Amino acid sequence: MPARASVTDTLTAWAGIDRSRRLSLRYFNLFRLLLAGIFVVGGQSFGLGGEHALAYDVAAFGYLAAVLALGFPDAVRRLGLERVILLQILVDVLALSVIMWASGGYRSGMPVLMMVVLAGTGLLAEGRMVLFFAALATLAVLIENAWRFASGGQPGDFLQVGIFCTGFFGIAVVSRRLALRAQANASLAAERGAALVRQQAVNERIIRDMHDGVIVVGADGRALQVNPQAAALLGVSRIEGRMLSEIDPVFDEALAHDGQEPRVLRLGPGGRLMRCRTVHSEAEGAAGEVLIYLTDFEDVERQMQQLKLAALGRLTASMAHEIRNPLSAVTQAAELLCEEKRANMQARLARIINDNAHRIERMIRDVLALGRREHIVPEALPLAAFAAEVIDARVLTDEVERAVYALDIGGDITLGVDRAHLHQILDNLLANARRYCSGRPGSVRLYAEALAGGRVALHVADDGPGLDEATRGHLFEPFFTTHAKGTGLGLYIARELAEANDATLELDGEGAGADFVLTGRSRP
């Protein structure tokens, strides 16, 4: 595919060069026609043909006839471009040489016209032909001047003729170099133009086939470009050229929203729920233009629901497997309890039954918490006071246990989150931190920091042994635990509840200790 594209670009470039040569030849023919007309109509009034009038008339009329014959497009079609150029230059050099001979030699000004012809030759001819024509013009001038010198001319004439002949080669070489550079630039421009056309076609195809709607809006709020998906989402047949406020006044709110964070709005005549993201164009010459990306949020919700159902299926299967183990232990312990007569063994079996029953109860409670994630009531909770309440509930009146927790949160820092969800998240993080910390005063630290964009990060850090790389990769997976009596749902539930409140829960840092970071908005 790249090789084929390269061949196509090369052919396109040469076609562009060929068109450029044909256009240059057309203008050059106009110059030659004007020159031949001057020779025929007013040549004698300019002092031309004074020495040999008959030869001048034959050369002038012959030159005009040759220009007319070779200047028609039919000549190029019959003879080919290269042959026409060759014949034209030969005719030019021959005609100008005869006119120079009939008009008094180099003083007639014909060598200057030969220089103009050679300059045009450099733009039209290919390869070494330019030097050939310069040599031919030089030879013609030298022969004419030698004949004139033999007929009684002055020796000083050869100096002037030598200067003209040197100018022939100089002009021919310079014009050819300029022509080569122009051809190279034309070839590069043609290749880049072809590549740009292909890239534009690819971009248009991508935008046309996008699942998201794309609207380019001008500074006046008028739709400049629209892909078909945007029209389908809005349920409007024609959008391009219309004011978006005419389609739906809610677009004014979307355009006024500064920033790339998407918003969920009902747009269009049908009031379809869509996620709308606006991006201000930074392209040169596109000041004030805005890109609007529209995503069918109802379709996104359906996909999310399918993912939730799939995750729920996996969770149910895993939970059934996890419940089977403690349930088997309960059943076996109950059977042994009926047969056992010793009091100490009965107490041990009863403890096994009680522990496994509590384990099952914790699993069910954690799973029920997932069902409550959709029913959130966010509020701006003062973090310092709320964290102190959670710690108080854990330590009760044990001052030694209280000293383990170090609280360093400003009184003005708030977090927009559901109260019950934050309590469950914090309680789980504190339980894990207390389980693995050293137990010394301040070994579990709670601190918060304000971030850009009105967000807040709450850290729960301990001085325990930390987590290895393998454990970090599975830390938030359901039923993954490193504790013998853990259910493996604590961190999984905590992260799900955080996401339900538009927050994130991550493990930060490496090495000794664990640092869990809950990041969310300061206000709902």
Q: Tell me the pLDDT tens digit for each residue of 305-361.
A: 677 666 666 666 666 656 666 767 677 777 777 766 677 777 777 777 777 777 776
Judged by DSSP in three states, 480 sits in: coil
Query: Per-residue confidence at 518, pLDDT binned at 50, 70, 90?
Result: very high
Residue 60 in contact with residue 39, Cβ under 8 Å? yes
CB 31 within 8 A of CB 23: no
| pLDDT of res. 168 | 80
**Residue listed under structure tokens 């809950």:** 518
Instruction: Name the more confident of 443 and 166.
Output: 443
DSSP 449: E
- Read off the pLDDT of residues 170-215 as tens digits, 9 standing for 90 and up: 878 887 787 778 777 777 887 888 888 888 777 777 777 777 888 8
pLDDT at 5: 44
State both tokens at 291. Answer: 């890109």
Phi, psi of 375 (to 5 degrees): -100, 75
Residue 262 dihedral angles phi and psi, to the nearest 5°: -70, 155
More confident residue, 73 or 236: 236
For residue 254, give the amino acid letter.
Answer: A
pLDDT of 495 > 90? The answer is no
Residue 279 carries which side chain, given as an amino acid letter? V
Residue 6 has pLDDT above 70, yes or no: no
Does 25 or 55 have the greater pLDDT score? 55
Residues 192, 495: Cα–Cα separation, whole Å: 51
Digit-coded pLDDT (tens) for 240-249: 888 888 888 8
Strands 405-408 and 444-451: parallel
Report in angstroms the alpha-carbon separations of 504 from 275, 305, 475, 497, 507: 21, 20, 14, 9, 10
Assess contact for 183 and 14: CB atoms under 8 A: no
Most confidently modeled range among 147-151, 290-294, 326-330, 362-366: 290-294
> Confidence band (pLDDT; 50, 70, 90) for 7?
very low
Which residues lie closer than 8 Å to 106 by C-beta, 6 or more apart? Answer: 100, 141, 144, 145, 157, 160, 161, 164
pLDDT grade, residue 155 (50/70/90)? very low
The neighbour count for residue 379, using CB atoms within 10 Å, is: 14
**Pairwise pLDDT comparison (165 vs 158), residue with the higher score:** 165
Q: What is the mean pLDDT of residues 490-501?
A: 83
Q: What is the DSSP letter of 50?
A: S
Fold category of 211-299 in CATH:
Beta-Lactamase (3.30.450)
Residue 412 has pLDDT above 80, yes or no: yes
| Ranges of CATH 3.30.565.10 domains, the chain | 374-524
Coil, helix or strand at residue 235 = coil
Given a contact cutoff of 8 angstroms between Cβ atoms, the answer to whether 504 and 516 are in contact is no
- Return d(Cα 200, Cα 135) in angstroms, integer: 49
Per-residue pLDDT band at 443 (split at 50, 70, 90) = very high
Between 343 and 520, the higher pLDDT residue: 520
Please state, rounded to an integer, the average pLDDT across all residues of the chain.
77
Q: What is the pLDDT of residues 375-410, one digit of tens each?
A: 678 889 999 999 999 888 888 778 888 899 999 998
pLDDT above 90 as % of the chain: 6
CATH architecture of 374-524: 2-Layer Sandwich (3.30)
Q: Where in the chain is the domain with CATH 3.30.450.20?
A: 211-299
DSSP string spanning 374-427? TS--EEEEEHHHHHHHHHHHHHTT-HHHHTTEEEE--TT-EEEEEHHHHHHHHH
